[in-house]
Structure 1
Amino acid sequence: MEWILLLLLGLFAAILGSIMGLGGGIIIVPALMVLSGYTAILSGITPQVAVGTSLLVMIFTGLSSTLAYIKQKKVDIKSGLIFFAGSGPGALFGVWLNKDIEVNAFLIFFGIFIIIVSFILMIRKHIKPIKLAKKGGIRRTYENDLGETIEYGYQPVVGIGIGFVVGMCSGLFGIGGGSLMVPAMILLFAFPPHMAVATSMFLVFLSAIVSSISHISLGNVDWLYAAALIPGAWAGGQIGAVINRRLKSDTVVNLLRIFLIIIGIRLIYQGITGM
């Protein structure tokens, strides 16, 4: 029964992660930590193993989603590679930060982080994009499904800097970084939401490779858990990309915000009380 639960967890996390460009780790990591107190096979799982296993799974979620989004011509590969120039080193730094963190501190800080992410998602519709691409910056255009041409842009140094922070969060929390990268691309760089999500999944894929290799070398991956999560994650990545194309994201964002707040409060409570 527990293995079926892990399969469904991988599927559910990947679907939501692919729809929103979050990668799914923001659901897998807290779910593994919470389930560790209620199921025999996950008992005693450490934050390091939860993060390392989540990052390995996100390689498959990211690749599955990216391939689907490339077919839809929504991935800005050039921008993704520029952001990865920062997120790659950031991911290694995050792994280094993760190796000695205590369980209770991890739960509290991760819970606070998730609540902050939910707040960012809440206000993203009410903030006008900041035009950061001036002279010397990168400007690009995108034609949406309505035939409208949308211009967006950024300074490469700013994109790399934000990418470093995103990569650090990926390596530290095992979340893929999309929970920060998608709002940053939309709010700061005026990316069209669908392209921001698709490009974020490409970045999740690249960052997860770097982070997971580091966690594997540290022995932070449980291969049995990963084997149970990966099939659902691969299928979920494809399904999420299809839903993203056909469904307005507002309803999903609202549900996800509520979901993140509940998880964040639960993890903070568990970290403080040890229950």
Structure 2
Amino acid sequence: MVSYFFAIVVGIITGIITSLIGASGVMVVVPALTMLFHVNTHAAIGTSLFVDVIASLTVSYNYFKNGNVDLRAGAWIAVSSIAGAQLGAMFASQINEGSLSSLFGIFLLISGIMMLSRSSKNEGGTEKEAEKRALRFKKRWQQIVLAVIVGIGIGIISGIFGAGGGVMILLALIIIMSYPLHKAIGTSTLIMSMTALSSTIGYAVRGNINLILGCFLAIGAVAGGTVGSFYANKVNEKTLQKIVSAVFICLGGMMTLLEVI
């Protein structure tokens, strides 16, 4: 019972992280399962993906209720990112693990600093950027082409860096497509739920999911994701940008320092 209680707590943390920064809970779930519950790495990853699907659907639904999900762009990005991920995986095989971790840490650090800089600008900055995007890509086919290009790019980067899909999607939506942060997080979690589902099926077929622990983690993730997304949708854009950028800077700094040490 104590183990299941801790699983729920880990799930709550995962749901909150997903709701605030639209990122995968793999950074929390995999270490927790391997170190606290002594689950082998393959099963830990498979269980994490299972939890990701449920947490992401919960969060994206709550963002959708607040009008902060772009369904069409999300679908095109999700489909095209699958192809890009295969190319990224090929590139990743040529880079050693330590270099990958350092590169990803530096990438997160720079992204966090960029977002913090954006949040220090005027309150209406993100809305103006969204308007500019709408003017640049007025035609539907232009929006689809952009979404496909972004999706392939996300897939390549995610394939190289591994469990960075949610972060990469979020950053691409904000930096490349100029989405307001709330809509970027909502759309990011929707895309992540679709990509995580395909991976979960693959791990399930091979028996690499601990369903019991996964269900308790999912209970916590639903609770944490619901509460987190409720408050995230109420927070103004600048405050949310500062929260997200602070998380990215901390994670990026920690990953970079660990590799240096």
Residues 175-190 of structure 1: pairs in structure 2 closer than 5 A: 175=164, 177-190=165-178
SS of 1:17's partner is helix
Which structure has more helix as a fraction of its residues? 2
SS of 1:41's partner is coil
Single out whichever of 191-200 and 120-129 deviates more from structure 2: 120-129
* Corresponding residue for residue 163 of structure 2: 174
> Offset at 1:226?
2.8
Q: Match for 1:138 among 117, 137, 140?
A: 140
The CA deviation string for residues 3-41 of structure 1, in whole angstroms up to 9 with x for no partner, is 434422321232232233x13x2xx3333565579x452
> Match for 2:73: what amino acid?
S
Q: TM-score, normalised by structure 1?
A: 0.70
Which structure has more strand as a fraction of its residues? 1
> Match for 1:267: what amino acid?
M
* Corresponding residue for residue 29 of structure 1: 26
Q: Match for 1:231 among 208, 219, 233?
A: 219
> Offset at 1:199?
1.8
Does the aligned pair in 2 maintain the 1:65–1:201 contact within 8 Å? Answer: yes
Whole-Å separation in 1 of the counterparts to 2:185 and 2:74:
11
Does the aligned pair in 1 maintain the 2:63–2:186 contact within 8 Å? Answer: yes
Does the aligned pair in 2 maintain the 1:106–1:271 contact within 8 Å? Answer: no
> Offset at 1:136?
7.3
The CA deviation string for residues 115-137 of structure 1, in whole angstroms up to 9 with x for no partner, is 24423433444587464865773
Whole-Å separation in 1 of the counterparts to 2:87 and 2:252:
24
| Cα distance change on mapping 1:51 and 1:160 into 2, 3 Å | farther
Whole-Å separation in 1 of the counterparts to 2:246 and 2:112:
8
Q: Match for 1:74 among 68, 71, 90?
A: 68
| Cα distance change on mapping 1:132 and 1:182 into 2, 3 Å | same
Whole-Å separation in 2 of the counterparts to 1:195 and 1:205:
16
For the aligned residue pairs, the C-alpha RMSD in angstroms reads: 3.7
> Offset at 1:252?
4.0
Single out whichever of 159-168 and 264-273 deviates more from structure 2: 264-273
* Corresponding residue for residue 191 of structure 2: 203
Whole-Å separation in 2 of the counterparts to 1:218 and 1:101:
27
> Offset at 1:203?
1.2
> Match for 1:31: what amino acid?
V
* Corresponding residue for residue 114 of structure 1: 108
Does the aligned pair in 1 maintain the 2:77–2:148 contact within 8 Å? Answer: yes
> Offset at 1:66?
2.3
* Corresponding residue for residue 7 of structure 1: 8
Whole-Å separation in 1 of the counterparts to 2:137 and 2:215:
48
> Offset at 1:222?
4.5
> Offset at 1:91?
4.5
Gaps of 5+ in 2: none
Identity of aligned residues (%): 24
* Corresponding residue for residue 155 of structure 1: 143
Which structure is higher in RCO with an 8 Å CA cutoff and minimum separation 6?
2
> Match for 1:192: what amino acid?
P
Aligned residues: 251
Gaps of 5+ in 1: 140-153
